[in-house]
Amino acid sequence: MPTKLADAQNLVSDLISHYSSRVDYLMIRLEEAEGTDILLRGDKVETLSEGISIGGHIRACYKGGWGLSSFNQLSTIKERIEEAIAAARMVGDEETLLAPIDPVQTICQLPLTGTDPRKVSLSQKKELCDRYTQLLKSVDPQITTTSIRYGDSAQKIIIATSEGTLIEQSWVDMEMRFAATARNGETVQTGRETTGSRKAYEDLVNLDEQVKNAAQRAVAALSLPSVKGNTYTVVIDPILTGLFVHEAFGHLSEADMAYENPDLLEVMTIGRRFGPKELQIFDGAAPEGHRGSYFYDDEGTPATTTQLIQDGILVGRLHSRETAGKLDEAPTGNARCLNYHFSPIVRMTNTWIEPGKTPVADLFTGIKEGVYARNWLGGMTNGEMFTFSAGEAWMIRNGKIAEPVKDVTLSGNVFQTLADIEAIGDDFYWDESGGCGKGGQNGLPVGCGGPSLRIRDVVVGGET
């Protein structure tokens, strides 16, 4: 029995041929992954590991019912296929509806532009983390705790289906997270930064200024006044725009969310206006070089770019083959799984708002009292409601950026907030720091981006 994916293609093709007549659809997904995980809290090493895993899963569909079986020993693959088929036949009682795609046979690799992290030793990666730890601590004596997390993962995937698709796809992903907490008596403030790349290890090496900024923000916030809670016109920077479009709007565009919630499906009616005519929102894995980029999703559907909002009007949503089939729409290549333990579900890839025509300086014009918020500290969403914490913020007074403030949270209803966008900046920034969670599959790499935005009537939390 083969032990490497390179030896497994003939095996999976033979198995598909043997078993496919028993179900409407059969897919075998094999995965070979290797990676590094380092976590430092202060000078303490909590995690320092390298690992390799080989596994896969079987997905079978019969009369609309799905069976899934995962494994980490290729020698058990026939038993797992039998399990998945039996489960699908047990629950299937309707019609299998999968939007059609053309079968494809290909080998593809997302190209690196620099050093592959697998060529860098574990000790070198640890030294990088140690250096960033010392940078955080050196900013100010009031820095009491620090954490540095480094992770890289190289995945090679083989997908074979009963429709004739046979794809081998591979990529490398890297991420680092930095946090520093400052304390002055009972006052505690934290600064965070996250970055990621699918291009080169070098992207993680020269981050000194970004790392120090996290600690400097924490220290500076100790002596800042809290913002006075109120409803303000706010200006947000591209990083917060990217977070907003992903968390607050993007998840509602995932068609499984709408299909399983008739009320949301009614709200997310194609053709409904959600924002100003200048508003354009997209999602897609087709743009190259971002953390949500790939050639094919985990069902073998080609990557696309999907326009979600055009001229302020909802024109699209994100699909797996099943949601596209059930809603009679085109598949978009958004079925993704974190690894072989999970079934693919509808997920964002790279999500962004197109830049507008307003010079950034003009976004502040005419605001008598408002808030300028940059970067993010945290956030949460609940359906169409959201709350985000800004990494740093300033008051806006008479059209000018004024005194800095802390404890700025932005809350609202996503649909009302989109409608309240007053101006869209002409700047743009791609944020590659995203790790998305949904359905228990946390940390899936995504990209998000956008311009600065001016939004009226945003609820800003702080001191009342």
Residue range 59-115, pLDDT digits in tens: 999 999 999 999 999 899 999 999 999 999 999 999 999 999 999 999 999 999 999
**Token pair for residue 333?**
């290549």
In a shared domain, residues 9 and 43: yes
Range of the domain at 350: 230-461
- Please tell me the distance from the alpha carbon of residue 277 to that of residue 434, in angstroms, as a whole number: 28
Bridge partner list, 153: 35, 173
In a shared domain, residues 88 and 183: yes
The pLDDT-based confidence of 21 (bands split at 50, 70, 90) is very high
Burial of 305 (0-12, 13-18, 19+ CB in 10 A): middle
Give the containing element (helix H, strand E) for 208. Answer: helix 208-222
The pLDDT-based confidence of 2 (bands split at 50, 70, 90) is very low
Convert the pLDDT of each residue in 422-446 to its tens digit.
999 999 999 998 789 999 999 999 9
In a shared domain, residues 9 and 57: yes
- Please tell me the distance from the alpha carbon of residue 285 to that of residue 282, in angstroms, as a whole number: 10
Which of 74 and 421 is assigned the larger pLDDT?
Answer: 421
Q: What is the pTM of this model?
A: 0.95
Three-state DSSP class for 81?
Answer: helix
Q: What's the pLDDT at 368?
A: 97
Mean pLDDT value of segment 221-227: 95
In a shared domain, residues 215 and 119: yes
Mean pLDDT value of segment 178-203: 95
Mean pLDDT value of segment 419-424: 97
Q: What's the pLDDT at 10?
A: 83
Q: What's the pLDDT at 322?
A: 97
In a shared domain, residues 445 and 326: yes
In a shared domain, residues 253 and 381: yes
Give first-to-last CA distance, the chain, whole Å. 67
In a shared domain, residues 210 and 325: no
Number of domains in the chain: 2
Instruction: Return the DSSP state at 198.
Output: S
Looking at every residue in the chain, the average pLDDT score rounds to: 95
Which of 9 and 349 is assigned the larger pLDDT?
Answer: 349
The pLDDT-based confidence of 1 (bands split at 50, 70, 90) is very low
- Please tell me the distance from the alpha carbon of residue 174 to that of residue 35, in angstroms, as a whole number: 9
Question: Which residue among 192, 222, 252 closes a domain?
Answer: 222
**Token pair for residue 381?**
């969403």
Question: Which residue among 167, 201, 222 closes a domain?
Answer: 222
Instruction: Return the DSSP state at 406.
Output: B
Is residue 3 predicted with pLDDT exceeding 60? Answer: no
- Please tell me the distance from the alpha carbon of residue 54 to that of residue 308, in angstroms, as a whole number: 36
Mean pLDDT value of segment 434-461: 94
Convert the pLDDT of each residue in 352-394 to its tens digit.
999 999 999 999 999 999 999 999 888 888 889 999 999 999 9
Q: What's the pLDDT at 464?
A: 47
Three-state DSSP class for 334?
Answer: coil
Tokens 């700025």 locate to 408
**Token pair for residue 330?**
């085109």
Bridge partner list, 442: none
In a shared domain, residues 155 and 23: yes
In a shared domain, residues 266 and 388: yes
In a shared domain, residues 201 and 271: no
Instruction: Return the DSSP state at 248.
Output: I
Q: What's the pLDDT at 459?
A: 97
CB 289 within 8 A of CB 198: yes
In a shared domain, residues 318 and 452: yes
In a shared domain, residues 166 and 284: no
Give how far Cα 43 sits from Cα of 46, 130, 134, 141, 153, Å. 9, 8, 9, 15, 24
CB 346 within 8 A of CB 268: no
Convert the pLDDT of each residue in 266-293 to its tens digit.
899 999 999 999 999 999 999 999 999 9
CB 165 within 8 A of CB 84: no
Is residue 317 predicted with pLDDT exceeding 80? Answer: yes
Q: What's the pLDDT at 262?
A: 87
* Amino acid letter for position 450: G
- Please tell me the distance from the alpha carbon of residue 199 to that of residue 110, in angstroms, as a whole number: 9
Exposure b/e, 429-451, CB count within 10 A at least 16 = b: bbbbbbbbebeebeebbbbbbbb
Is residue 218 predicted with pLDDT exceeding 80? Answer: yes
Question: Which residue among 222, 257, 285 closes a domain?
Answer: 222
Query: What's the CATH number where 156 sits?
Result: 3.30.2290.10
Is residue 58 predicted with pLDDT exceeding 60? Answer: yes
How many beta carbons lie within 10 A of that of residue 374, not counting itself?
18
* Amino acid letter for position 303: A
Is residue 6 predicted with pLDDT exceeding 90? Answer: no
